[in-house]
Every structure is written in C-alpha cells, then in structure tokens.
Structure 1
Amino acid sequence: MAPAPAKAQPHVLLVSSPFQSHVNPLLRLGRRLAGKGLSVTFTTALRDGIRVFEAGRPVACVVANAFVSWAVRVAGDVGLPCAILWIQSCAVLSVYYYYVYSLAAFPSGDEADSSGAVTIPGLPELDMDELRPLLIYTSDQEMWRQMLVGDLGSMTEKAPWVFVNTFDELEHEAVAGLRKHIPLIPVGPLVEPDDGGVDDDDVHGCTAWLDAQPRRSVVFVAFGSLVDIGHDEVVEIAEGLASTGRPFLWVLRDGNRALLPKDALIDACGGDRGKVVPWCEQRRVLAHAAVGCFVTHCGWNSTVEALAAGVPMVAVPRWSDQRINTRFVVDVYRVGVRAPATPLTREALRLSVEEVTAGPEAEAMAARAAILGEKARAAVGGGGSSDRGVQAFVDRITSGGAEP
C-alpha cells in the first residue's frame, strides 16, 4: 500500500505597498512564518496574487501591510481570512484609532494650533506639537488620510488579526489599552538577527571600517530614505561631526552628498576618522560593537532596529510618527536625547552626541538600551512574547481556522 501523500503546507500570501519601509518588515514577518512551516508568497501587485491562484496554489490567508486595504477587501470577496501588519508603533496606532473614532478629546479648529495635551489610555500625555504631524493633513495629503481611515476600518471590521511591529515588554500599556478595541498581536521587533556572517551587501566596506574602531566609539548617522536634507544642514552636520572628535559613519544619499563642499567633507572625515557612504545595511551597522550612538530621524523601523541592538539615540524628528517615537525614546525608554534644533546645527549635534556618549547620564542610557536590546531578543526568541503570538497564528492557520 502506497504511503499517503504528505499534507501540503498552508499557503499565506503577503501583500505590501511598494515602499521600502513597508516591504522590509513584511518580508521579515514572512521569513518567520516560513520558519514555522507555512508556505509564503510575497507580492506588491494584485496580478502576482492572481497568478498564485491560477498556478493551483490555494491561499489559506492573506497578510497585508498598511495602505493596501484593497487586499483586505479582495480577500473578503473570495472568502479568505486576512491579517494586517501595522508597521508603526502601537502608540501611534492608538493615536490614530482614538482620533478617527473620537474616543479622546482632541483639539479641533483653531484649538489644533494650541499646545494642549491629549490623554489616551496606555500613553503618556501628548501635546499638539507631537500630534500635529500625524493628524493635520494638507490638501495634497488627503489621499493618505483616506487610506488610513480605510485601514482602521479593516482592522476593526474585517481582519481577525492585527500584527504590530513591537513587543509587549516595550509597549505593554499601549498594547493592553488598544487590545480592547483591536485584535492586536505584537510580533516585533521585525529585525533580522545578525548571524555574524559575511554581508554580501557591504559594498562600501562599512564592516571592515567598523572593525578597526574602538568599542562603542562610533557615531552612526542615518535619516532614512524619505527625509530630505538641504545644503545648509548638510554642511552643519559635517561640521558638527567633525567637532565631536569621534569616529563617525554617515549615510548620505548621493543627491545630498553633492551639496557638501569638498573641503567640508575632508575636514569632517579627518583622514580615516569619518566614513560617508550612500547606503549601508543599517541593522548590521547598529549591531556592531563599535557603534555607541545613533543619530536618527526616529522613523519606527530605525527606532526598533536601534532598540533591538541596544544603541542609544540622538533623535532628530521631522514629520509623521517621528515626534511621538522621539517622545518615547527620550522620556519613556530613556535611551536617548532630542537634538535641540531642527534643522540640525553643528552645535546642537555636538552637544547631543556629547550628552549621549559622555554626559552624566550616558552610562545609564547605555545600560537601559542594553536591557531593552536583551528584552527585544528574548521577545522573538523561542517561547518569547512575540514568538508566541506568531506561533498562535500559525497554529490557527494550520488547523484551518479563520478566527484568533
């Protein structure tokens, strides 16, 4: 008698918007799902998902990230369960939820220009300077507001699972507060572990350069793929880094680097003391023992990567969720400082780096950052809080269930 054919692995279709900051977290979640036995297909286009169906590979569940609410609708139309991955913090999701559904007293009209505080369960009081970039939209941003409202509707009405790129030990109060309204599952930090292997993407020699630097000596500067830096600020950052007297690694896109006068670049780098590159594998740099400080815009992906690596931060927030992330980094987690000037000036940068690396609170910040890094690794390790959430989802999909 022939043996029974092996049971096919349940197949999950991941659907992402094409932005790199959206793609990376969903890919990392997909790798974890695949590591637990699910078959995973990733796409940024509906036609690719249709090809999956046409190829005879039935889909058990769709996992979509923010701003592709059409995927949730399509999944519902064909009777498939759908999960959503929220790639910002649980705190920011709480702000959006309480604002859209009028569950907290937000200033309106002329009051929106005030500095009044807003109270949301599980969060510290937030003022309008922190909230305004999230909640006040210009006419050319109306599309984003409509997409956000659609996402929140999907979370509350159609998606039995809402994954969040956070971990319970980091945002326990925010998760507990919002879980009363949304079926949250913390699955973060969605950061690839550093296996210590060769980095095939290190075309600019960052690892070799870092290997030659003393432990916790390097100032790492990166502002993400969307933050634009003008000529004057580029020069100020270069002069500020030079004035710290510390080795630095600065990610400066080619378009911005063209704004930097050659003599300023030479003065800043001081021989081999500084290294300027157009791109690097950020998580690997942050995980390197030579890095002691991260100057960042505080986008959530960058913030989570720094927290997971246990690296203190100098926050230079610009827009969107970055001011709220900064508030948590500085006042809640207490693992960084906010630069006192935006646009950044050389003196503000020098003072901020000095405070994080050698100030009276520097060692305490580093110790707290290291503890958070340990908690982050434990959360995604076997049996950790986020690992249990992923496993519960896999078990439900494997058993054929559609509800958590």
Structure 2
Amino acid sequence: MQQATGSNCHVAVLAFPFATHPPPLLTITRRLASAAPSTLFSFFSTSESNTSLFSTSLPMLPNIKAYNISDGVPEGHVFVEKPLEDIELFMKVGRENFRKGMEVAVAETGRKLSCLVTDAFLWFGKEMAEENGVAWVPFFVSGVCPLSSHVYTDLIRENFGVAGIVGREDQTLDFIPGMSKVRIHDLPEGIVSGNLGSIFSRMLHQMGQVLPQAAAVFINSFEELDPVITNDMKSKFKKFLNVGPLILSTPPPAVPDSHGCLAWLDKQKPATAAYISFGSVATLPPNELVAVAEALEASRVPFIWSLRDNSKVDLPNGFLDRANGIVVPWAPQIDVLAHSAVGVFISHGGYNSTLESIAAGRVPMIVRPFFGDHGLNGRMVQDVWEIGVIVKGGIFTKNGLISSLDLVLSQEKGKKMRENLKAIMELAQRAVGPEGSSTENFKALLDLVSR
C-alpha cells in the first residue's frame, strides 16, 4: 500500500471509553498511523481506558499520542447503581472535556487539527469538526444491522409508536431494506423500548440523525456480509466504508494461555467441545447460570467456561468436581475458537465475539442476548447468516440449552451452519485480501484522514 504523505496532518481520535468500544478504534488508528507515518494521531480517552489500551505488548507508534480526558465523575460522587450512570456523567461534560484535550494537543504539537475521527456514539463530533473547519469521520463499532436500526429510528417509531409494542414484539421490520427477519424485540433499548428520554437513548437517536452529514462513516465489517443493508447505508451516507474484519486485516498480538485451555482442548475429539463466554460486561443471573451448568452436566458435552471468579458461588454444589470440562476466569478466545476440538460457542452475541466466530470459520453459535446490539446480532446469526441459534425464549433453561447443543453438535442443521461459516469466512478473507473490498475501503479512509 502506498504511504500517504501529509507532513502537517493532525488527526484527533475521540473514543467512547466504555465496554468494548475503544480497542477497535485504537486498532484502526494504529493501522492508519502505520500507513501514514508523517500524520500525527492524538488519541483521546479517559485515563482508565487509555491505561488499559496502551499497556499491551504492541510497540507504540511514534505518530500516535494518548491524551487523558476526565471521566466526568464529580469529586466525592457516590454511584447509586443507576443503569448507565457512568456513561451519563461522561456525556454531560464530554464535549467540553474533549475540546480542552484537543486544545492541549494542538498547543503541544504545534499542528492545527486536519481531521476528526470519533466513535459514532459521540454525535457532537459533527459540530466540533465544523468549529475546527475539518472533516468528521465517525466509526461505528458494531455491525451494519444495528447501524441501520439507529439511522431508521424515527421511521421505526412512526410505524410502531414509542409505547405501543406490547403484544407486537414479534412483528418484523420488513419496511427497512435488509431487515425483514428482524423483530421489534431484537432492537436495542432506546429505539422503541426502555427510557427514551435518557441521555443514552437521546445520544443514540441524535447519532442516527447526524451520521448522514459526516464526510464518511466507517465500520468493522465487510460489504459481502450484508450486501442489502450495506447498499442502503451507502445511499444514506456520503461515504460508507466497511474496513473489516479487523481481526483478519490487523490480527491482535498473541496472548498467553495462562489457564491451560489449549492443552485441555488438545485432549478432546474434533468439534465436540463447547466454549462458553459472555464477554466482559454481561453477567448471567444465578438461575440461568445454574441452568447452563445443569445442561452441561446432563449432556456430558466437554466444555471450557470463561466465568468470573465472583460468579462461581452460584454454580451447583459439586459441579466443578463432576464437570466434564474446565471453568477458567479468562480464556484466549481467538485461539480457543480456532481450535479443532471446539464445536459450539455459547455467547452473548456481542459484535466482537460474533466476528471472531466468523473469522474462525467453523464454530456455530448459541446466542443468549443481554442488551444493546446483542438481539440484532443474534437474529442475523440465526435467521440471515444461518450460523447459529438464539436460545429458546431468549433465556437459558436446562432443557432449552440441551436441545440447542444437540442441534448444533449432532444434527444436520449444525453441519449446515458449519458450511455457512466456512463460506462467510472465505468472503471475509477475500475482503481483506490485496484486491478486496475492505482493502479498497481502507485506502479511501486513509486518503480522507491523511490529506
């Protein structure tokens, strides 16, 4: 790839410092910085987020500098267990804190800003870019189906109202291109359910309204995964650039297998083991945790369960002694999914986990959605891509999970899912290849941010 020039370019990158938002934004920033060595990238997030992000084993590029901004939590503040309280405090003062941080970066480097790249959730990036006379290039960290749901929020509300979905939860969004399999209850909170007046809901609504005014919107996916929705988003945005999957184009560094997961898998038969992980944020309620344990015990499916230590108290008495598997506080997920012994991935349906399953190309999913984009991702997994199933009724029961395990591991339908996964993985590999769609889109993104 040709290296971009632009010796005076200075790109401000603004992260949304929660959950799994910052890591993919830093991954793409590193890739841009590597391809445009004379462009400066100032990366803004909270101290906690930056400390975690920049402590990896990857060497730091000389043209990326991290700047800490305040998390917005007032001194002496006591959290009251209100949902999303940390996000609301951050967003209340986020615009002003980012502005102060950018002023520091401009003063330190002696370079005016030339482009503003932000997490798409930071909808005020549009106005900040206008104030600085630069292009706004937002990054949406989830898939194109959740993106479409936010862009079409007003139309969805017109069709369903904001209070009238009880009894209509299974109605589909067949009036939106590519969304005919999606049901109302799959949608993230804040579109037609939940507290629509909260700061978080308003943030997502405003994002959907202003994204069409961005110079470009980019996303960690590939055009061939959802061609209908992708073409529709191309008609809505000035530029819509699928630049992923990043896991294939920019593989993460190797991580140590500190709990012996791979050695344990080496002793299992091919495509027989279950890998269970619900990400870093979602937590199973105790009754469902027991249901998962009972299903594993009754089915005798060998398993690796990545479970935080504080959740182990809810496991049935003696389960760990009787279990045909291992419970670990953390697992090297990418390596586990790539192992030939793993035959099913029991997941929350988070976007990164879904992409990792696709990149592995051989492990169907059993999805138990929790919040956010999980329901939409699960629906695509089950009904559009046909590479997994959503747990019956959306929650774990012993018998429901036993039947899902049997379906994926033993039945013809599971075999078909594996074939579909292999085909989608090959499309993804082509997309990030030398002439692939994601590679071409990355060149367009690089041109936009480094000129």
TM-score range, shorter chain: 0.7 to 0.9
Change (3 A) 1:127 1:189: same
Cα deviation 1:147-191 (Å, max 9, x = unaligned): 11222233122x201012221110110010121112311112232
Structure 1 residue 98 and structure 2 residue 152: aligned? yes
Structure 1 residue 340 and structure 2 residue 396: aligned? no
Q: Answer whether contact 1:134 1:320 (CA < 8 A) is retained.
A: no
Change (3 A) 1:388 1:230: same
Cα deviation 1:262-292 (Å, max 9, x = unaligned): 4122222x3xxx1212223323322333322
SS at the partner of 2:43?
Answer: strand
Q: Answer whether contact 1:238 1:265 (CA < 8 A) is retained.
A: no
Q: CA deviation at 1:352?
A: 0.6
- 1:171 pairs, out of 202, 210, 226, with 226
Provide the C-alpha distance between the structure 2 equivalents of 1:397 and 1:133, rounded to a whole number of angstroms: 33
1:307 aligns to what? 358
The letter of the residue matching 1:22 is H
Provide the C-alpha distance between the structure 2 equivalents of 1:305 and 1:278, rounded to a whole number of angstroms: 19
Q: Percent identity?
A: 30
Superposed counterparts of 1:5-404, under 5 Å? 8=7, 10-38=9-37, 39=39, 40-44=41-45, 45=69, 46=98, 48-56=101-109, 58=111, 59-100=113-154, 102=155, 106-108=159-161, 111-115=164-168, 116-118=171-173, 119-131=175-187, 133=189, 135-139=191-195, 142-157=198-213, 159-182=214-237, 183-191=239-247, 198-200=254-256, 202-268=257-323, 270=324, 274-310=325-361, 311-398=363-450, 400=451
Provide the C-alpha distance between the structure 2 equivalents of 1:214 and 1:141, rounded to a whole number of angstroms: 52
Which runs of 5 or more residues in structure 1 are unaligned?
Answer: 1-5
Q: CA deviation at 1:24?
A: 1.8
The letter of the residue matching 1:27 is L
SS at the partner of 1:106?
Answer: helix
Provide the C-alpha distance between the structure 2 equivalents of 1:286 and 1:56, rounded to a whole number of angstroms: 43
The alignment's TM-score, normalised by the length of structure 1, stands at 0.87
Q: Answer whether contact 1:25 1:191 (CA < 8 A) is retained.
A: no
Q: Answer whether contact 1:83 1:163 (CA < 8 A) is retained.
A: yes
Q: CA deviation at 1:293?
A: 0.9
The letter of the residue matching 1:218 is A
Change (3 A) 1:12 1:258: farther
Shifted more, 323-332 versus 204-213: the winner is 204-213
Q: CA deviation at 1:313?
A: 0.7
Provide the C-alpha distance between the structure 2 equivalents of 1:337 and 1:153, rounded to a whole number of angstroms: 32
Cα deviation 1:294-336 (Å, max 9, x = unaligned): 1111122221221122121111123322222112111111111
Cα deviation 1:238-257 (Å, max 9, x = unaligned): 12122232221111122222
Provide the C-alpha distance between the structure 2 equivalents of 1:339 and 1:9, rounded to a whole number of angstroms: 53
Provide the C-alpha distance between the structure 2 equivalents of 1:379 and 1:52, rounded to a whole number of angstroms: 35
SS at the partner of 1:219?
Answer: strand
Runs of 4+ in 1 over 6 A off after TM superposition: 193-197
Shifted more, 170-179 versus 103-112: the winner is 103-112
Q: CA deviation at 1:54?
A: 2.1
Q: Answer whether contact 2:151 2:209 (CA < 8 A) is retained.
A: no
Q: CA deviation at 1:193?
A: 6.3
Q: Answer whether contact 1:297 1:316 (CA < 8 A) is retained.
A: yes
The letter of the residue matching 2:136 is C
Shifted more, 333-342 versus 187-196: the winner is 187-196
Provide the C-alpha distance between the structure 1 equivalents of 2:220 and 2:251, rounded to a whole number of angstroms: 21
Q: Answer whether contact 1:235 1:264 (CA < 8 A) is retained.
A: no
Provide the C-alpha distance between the structure 2 equivalents of 1:163 and 1:8, rounded to a whole number of angstroms: 24
Q: Answer whether contact 1:134 1:321 (CA < 8 A) is retained.
A: no
Q: Answer whether contact 1:230 1:256 (CA < 8 A) is retained.
A: no
Q: CA deviation at 1:109?
A: 5.2
Provide the C-alpha distance between the structure 1 equivalents of 2:337 and 2:250, rounded to a whole number of angstroms: 10
Provide the C-alpha distance between the structure 1 equivalents of 2:402 and 2:252, rounded to a whole number of angstroms: 32
Q: CA deviation at 1:235?
A: 1.5
Provide the C-alpha distance between the structure 1 equivalents of 2:21 and 2:408, rounded to a whole number of angstroms: 30
Cα deviation 1:311-369 (Å, max 9, x = unaligned): 21111123322222112111111111222144301221121111111112122111111
**C-alpha root-mean-square deviation of aligned residues, in Å?**
2.6
Q: CA deviation at 1:57?
A: 5.5
Provide the C-alpha distance between the structure 1 equivalents of 2:248 and 2:29, rounded to a whole number of angstroms: 11
Q: Answer whether contact 2:15 2:118 (CA < 8 A) is retained.
A: yes
Cα deviation 1:79-105 (Å, max 9, x = unaligned): 2212111112212221221222x3785
Change (3 A) 1:267 1:193: farther
SS at the partner of 2:138?
Answer: strand
Provide the C-alpha distance between the structure 2 equivalents of 1:301 and 1:197, rounded to a whole number of angstroms: 16
Shifted more, 173-182 versus 205-214: the winner is 205-214
SS at the partner of 2:118?
Answer: strand
- What is the count of residue pairs matched by the alignment? 387
